[in-house]
Structure 1
Amino acid sequence: MKNCKKMVSNHSCYVSESTTDEETGDMEYAPNSRQNKLPRKPTRTPKCFSKNALMARENRLKKKMYITTLESQVASLSADNKKMTQLHQNQSVLVKELKNEVKYLKSVLGNSEHIGKLIRAINFSTGIPIKSSIDRRASPSSRDAVNKSPIAQKIVPNGELPQEIRPETACVGYDFTRHPWDETEKLSQNNINFPTPESTSSYYDNSDIDELKKSLLLDIDVPSNMDVFFDDIIQEDLLEVPEKSSSSGTSADLTINLQEEEDVGMNFAYYCAEVFCILALFLAKYLWRKSRKCAAEGLQGPKRLPLLGNALTVWCKDEDIFENLVECFSKYPSPMRFDIFQQLFIIFREPAQVEKIFSTSALTAKDDIYKFIKYFDGEGLISGSGAKWKKDKRLLSPLFLKRNIVQYFGVMLNHAQILAGILEQEADRPAFDIQHYLHRAVADIVNETIIGVQTNAQCGELDDFLSCIGRGYQLVHERMVKPWLQVEFIFRLTPKYKELTQTRQVLRQVKKSHSHLGPKEIACRTILEQMLDIRDEVPDFSTDEELIHHMTTFYSASEDTATSICSFALVMMGMYPEYQKRVVEEMHSVIGCEELREEHLQRLDELQMVLKETLRLFPIAPLLLRKVSQNIEIDGFNIPAGTSLVVSIQNIHRDPRFWAKPNDFYPEHFLPEAVKKRHPYAYLPFSAGARGCIGKPYAYMIMKTLLVTILRKYSVEAVGSLQDKPITADISVRFKDHSYAVRIMKRV
């Protein structure tokens, strides 16, 4: 045990820091001694060993991180060095190019005949603004102020880089000892002597120099960081320098600031490239549209003017555009061609041809002109196209089926009864505009059933919003029919752009602010709530922004359609009281004294015929446009991809081949026997095919509920006839005078 203790005490790791060298030397340790040797027990690693190992490891990691940091810094500095080297090389090349150009200018300016031409070229050809800064300062040290010999002068571009003109050689140059790029380079001097006054008679006879004297056009701005080598002859007789009084009055220094605002050569190259690209695009578009024209050479149409085509047809007052188009389309057989500024439209008004168009999958894409509606309403079912539109329509169509919208009848009836009560103030009084009241009632119905918000529009709380929407429709239509407003940068320069932007913001803000209230305020399941349910089941159905687009589309389509058709129907029944009498008698026989119910609406055939005849005369969308996505053939006419097709619903609805009295209000057009004789695509109030309106049952329910409620309480009168009320169109058809004046009387 003693030997073991002695062995441990002799180990260097266990020697105390206070142990002296003498004490260590007196210790004896015999490793080969076998005296009293005991079996060795397992020992733990001393704590000092583990601490030292950890410290060593930490030091190695720190060194490694430090080395890595240094390497990254070295790499970064190396990359920066390469960039600086490349920049220096580029600057050297630029310096050489500028020197060559300035040498050329020096040679030109050395000839007096070229000076005036060069100045005029700078002013009138390149368009560089001219500013002259010539200051004559008195200096008692000048030697040549009295006589007209060369004087000591200094030329300082931008007042930074010093230059000097030596009287002995009249040489102008920089002091390159202060040059920022090369401090060792020296300027080679060019010996060019100033001409004497006697030898400058040719200058005074030169018209270019005389013009230069009058206008003082010497005004070139040169950046201070530009390497300039410029020799010039400056003669006091050639430049009229205003004298400034001084104490001596005998000498002067001449300082000229030369500034060049931009590199003319580079800018000219850029301009040429831009002009070339624009011309190339216009040429490509022109050739593409010309190929469309060649495909339509066999079609009849109005005479085309060069470049304008048939644009003069729409070059008129806004309210006359629609009438001019319909009249033009009726003069030629279907299909016909119509051109506006190289844009080809093929017009169809034959039901058999229209049926093929609406049943062809290659013709479901909306025309590019609908992008203006998309800007206002968003990309909903009206303006959308492609796979996204197909998916959205498949998911949203069930929301407007009859079995689903029946739940909204109570809301519609409630607001219709409120409207009937409000109209009592107009009863037995002079004629008034019925559309104003209908617009408010429809807005309340649509907001409550689609969004779930009770807006109280009939109390006047949405008047500003409704007038804003109406103005938005007009602005969108104006862009659609006026080609010069379809150019974006031109439209942005007009006041209409700001007005349309404000209108769009108001519409979106109102819809977005109410969108979260949908499921909370009414008992029935709103359209918004059902769309949210669809999104829960189909996560990629729509984003929040796309939901707002759908709501805006549903609102604008439903509100405008129901308001317009109800207004037209009441005016027509006021003008033609015999049909109003038939409708009222049918209502008495079907409803009697009972409260109106939804099933009653299905049995009112006379009212149904009145509404259909109203939609025939005043279709919701009088012109439908499609974009051909692939080459197709219709009745022997080959139509290439990219062509715009127009289906003129207005012309079809007033074609005497299909309608006994095309320009009269005649509901008998929709008797069962008359319908059987007519082509099914001769009547298209809600379009047809894949792009048919999904809100048709919803719109019919609103219109019937409002009309029945009004006619049960009031009789309607209107002055004049249909021929006295010409129509126009924006997004939908309107009376040209925008007046829906009727007079109502209480029924006994």
Structure 2
Amino acid sequence: MATMPQQASPYTHWSQSQPPGALDHIPGENGLPIVGNTFSLLADPIGFSNRMRARYGNVFRNRAFGRNSVLLFGAEANELVLFDRDKLFSSEQGWGPVLDQLFPRGLMLLDFDHHRADRRALSIAFKPEPMRHYCGALNSGISARVEQWRGQRLKFYPAIKQLTLDLAADSFLGVPLGPEADAINKAFVDMVAASIGVVRKPLPFTAMGRGVAGRKFLLEYFTRETEKRRAAGGGQDMFSQFATATHEDGSLMPVDEVVDHMIFLMMAAHDTITSSASSLVWLLAKHPEWQDRLSAELLAVTGGEGRPLAYEDLGKVSLTEMAFKESLRLIPPVPSLPRRALRDFEFGGYRIPAGTGVGISPADVHMDPRHWPEPEKFDPMRFTPEEVAKRHKYAWVPFGGGAHMCLGLHFAYMQVKVLMAQILTRYRIEIAPGYEPRWQAWPIPKPRDGLTVTFTPR
């Protein structure tokens, strides 16, 4: 168990290193010279963590991506870090080495009072009236695209990625993307890929170089759009809500902050929902009996094939929600979460000094048999209210937790429920016998071959 934090001490910026030997009392290994364990971690993060845990236990040190860190495992570790009762951990300094050149000042990278103030200002975009507006846009946009898939054998991942970008433009921006659409998509792809680039400087022909160029393009695009929205006085779309958001004193959020928040949330809506929808479609294709159960539920609620799932009916599709939660357990869209310790603390019998990078793993705890019997099995019934009440609250954390719980989680639920209503009332999702896609785990899980499925009319 964690102890109370020791007396506060000054902490260094994340770019500065720990003194040599500061973590030597913690078991673990640094890996190869210069690169550490980076390549092992990228190749098989779950396998790597399982090997390290078997050797060293639930607390161990590691070196990857040019920095030393301590990894903590288990629901108790998740609670300590995510709930952060004593404000021990900085999200900004944890994510900084990974994202500061790409998504600085995104809501996930802010701490404490700054995070609270910006979260409050941005939350207006997720109130019931805007959400009802988004639900209507999602229903019409998804229905039109899904109808085009009738009888088609296609690679689902690129298809849903394009659809989520189009939906984000409609719901978030309020306008269809113009000729910039391909460039916007490329910018997001390059920025996400750069987050795990081994070379951390934006040199030409490197992943980080392409990612920083993508960010420059998006900064220019969203700055122009923010100024247009303010001149127009706002609107129902999410971007207009952000552009006219105010702090508690009534002041408008600065344009550069609006732009950074919009870029980050567009990435989250674009890439994490693409990943989550792909994992759910894959698991339903493997388990057709669950397709039938969800189809029956969605038909009963919507009243027929391809009909809209109304905003007021989102809470009625409980089996669909449970299946989505189980897919998020098996393939969480954010497999690990970094922080940095602001003060010394203790966990698992080890003193961890201020300034240490600290990581937890949703992907690992989601497969812990102490909380999940037969963890490899797809079983949405794990998420009945009775089963949820029996489990540690932090055994399932695909959306994070505590103050940094994902602001857009209800939007994600809504989009996936609407997507399932439009697909499963029309089609059976089928795969070739024995087909198993290989999943790339980091930075956001995706099927390497695109996930080939067939949409067969029911």
Q: Which residue of 1 aligns with 2:43?
A: 320
Structure 1 residues 352 and 541 mapped into 2: Cα distance closer, same or farther (>3 Å)?
farther
Q: Which has the higher helix share?
A: 1
RMSD over aligned CA atoms reads: 3.0
Structure 1 residues 555 and 313 mapped into 2: Cα distance closer, same or farther (>3 Å)?
same
Deviations 1:131-190 (A, max 9, x none): xxxxxxxxxxxxxxxxxxxxxxxxxxxxxxxxxxxxxxxxxxxxxxxxxxxxxxxxxxxx
Matching residue within 468, 492, 499 for 2:203? 492
Matched, 1:415 2:145: no
Distance 1:409 1:385 in 2: 31
- In the TM superposition, residue 676 of structure 1 has moved relative to its aligned partner by 2.3
Matched, 1:690 2:403: yes
Distance 2:170 2:232 in 1: 8
Is the 1:412–1:445 Cα contact (8 Å) retained in structure 2?
yes
Q: Superposed, which structure 2 residues align to 1:86-485 within 5 Å?
A: 288-294=18-24, 297=25, 299-301=26-28, 303-304=29-30, 308=33, 311-315=35-39, 320-331=43-54, 332-340=56-64, 343-360=67-84, 361-385=87-111, 387-402=113-128, 404-424=130-150, 427=151, 429=152, 431-455=153-177, 462-478=181-197, 482=198, 485=199
Give the TM-score normalised by the residue count of structure 1.
0.54
Structure 1 residues 541 and 338 mapped into 2: Cα distance closer, same or farther (>3 Å)?
farther
Structure 1 residues 326 and 727 mapped into 2: Cα distance closer, same or farther (>3 Å)?
farther
- In the TM superposition, residue 619 of structure 1 has moved relative to its aligned partner by 0.8
- The alignment partner of 1:682 has SS state of coil
Distance 1:441 1:537 in 2: 36
- The alignment partner of 1:743 has SS state of strand
Give the TM-score normalised by the residue count of structure 2.
0.86
Q: Which residue of 1 aligns with 2:453?
A: 742
Distance 1:450 1:341 in 2: 33
Is the 2:79–2:394 Cα contact (8 Å) retained in structure 1?
yes
Is the 1:453–1:517 Cα contact (8 Å) retained in structure 2?
no
Deviations 1:402-443 (A, max 9, x none): 46412321111110111123223xx1x4x3112222222222
Is the 1:631–1:639 Cα contact (8 Å) retained in structure 2?
yes
Distance 1:435 1:448 in 2: 20
Q: Superposed, which structure 2 residues align to 1:497-576 within 5 Å?
A: 497-518=208-229, 525-535=236-246, 538=249, 540-576=251-287
- The alignment partner of 2:283 has SS state of helix
- The alignment partner of 2:61 has SS state of strand
- In the TM superposition, residue 577 of structure 1 has moved relative to its aligned partner by 0.4
- The alignment partner of 2:309 has SS state of coil
When Rg is computed on C-alpha atoms for both structures, the one with the higher figure is: 1
Structure 1 residues 523 and 573 mapped into 2: Cα distance closer, same or farther (>3 Å)?
farther
Distance 2:405 2:428 in 1: 35
Distance 2:319 2:231 in 1: 38
Deviations 1:311-354 (A, max 9, x none): 553236x9615355334344242122223498431111211232
- In the TM superposition, residue 595 of structure 1 has moved relative to its aligned partner by 4.4
Is the 1:452–1:521 Cα contact (8 Å) retained in structure 2?
no
- In the TM superposition, residue 364 of structure 1 has moved relative to its aligned partner by 3.8
- In the TM superposition, residue 474 of structure 1 has moved relative to its aligned partner by 1.1
Distance 1:701 1:718 in 2: 26
Q: Which amino acid aligns with 1:300?
A: P
Deviations 1:65-99 (A, max 9, x none): xxxxxxxxxxxxxxxxxxxxxxxxxxxxxxxxxxx
Structure 1 residues 731 and 521 mapped into 2: Cα distance closer, same or farther (>3 Å)?
farther
Matched, 1:731 2:443: yes
Structure 1 residues 341 and 591 mapped into 2: Cα distance closer, same or farther (>3 Å)?
closer
Distance 2:36 2:244 in 1: 51
Q: Which amino acid aligns with 1:308?
A: P
- In the TM superposition, residue 499 of structure 1 has moved relative to its aligned partner by 2.2
Unmatched 5+ residue regions in structure 2?
A: 1-15
- In the TM superposition, residue 446 of structure 1 has moved relative to its aligned partner by 1.5
Deviations 1:590-637 (A, max 9, x none): 222364312222111111111001111111211101111112233443
Is the 1:322–1:728 Cα contact (8 Å) retained in structure 2?
no
- In the TM superposition, residue 516 of structure 1 has moved relative to its aligned partner by 4.3
- In the TM superposition, residue 509 of structure 1 has moved relative to its aligned partner by 3.2
Q: Which residue of 2 aligns with 1:655?
A: 368
Structure having greater relative contact order (Cα 8 Å, sep ≥ 6): 2
Matched, 1:672 2:385: yes
Distance 2:383 2:423 in 1: 23
- In the TM superposition, residue 389 of structure 1 has moved relative to its aligned partner by 2.7
Query: Percent identity at matched positions?
Result: 22
Is the 1:714–1:744 Cα contact (8 Å) retained in structure 2?
yes
Which piece of structure 1 moves more, 622-631 or 466-475?
A: 466-475
Matching residue within 565, 578, 595 for 2:289? 578
- In the TM superposition, residue 567 of structure 1 has moved relative to its aligned partner by 1.7
Structure 1 residues 398 and 464 mapped into 2: Cα distance closer, same or farther (>3 Å)?
closer
Deviations 1:239-288 (A, max 9, x none): xxxxxxxxxxxxxxxxxxxxxxxxxxxxxxxxxxxxxxxxxxxxxx77x4
Number of equivalences: 438
- The alignment partner of 2:102 has SS state of helix
Distance 1:588 1:369 in 2: 42
- The alignment partner of 1:664 has SS state of coil
- In the TM superposition, residue 524 of structure 1 has moved relative to its aligned partner by 5.9
Q: Which amino acid aligns with 1:692?
A: M
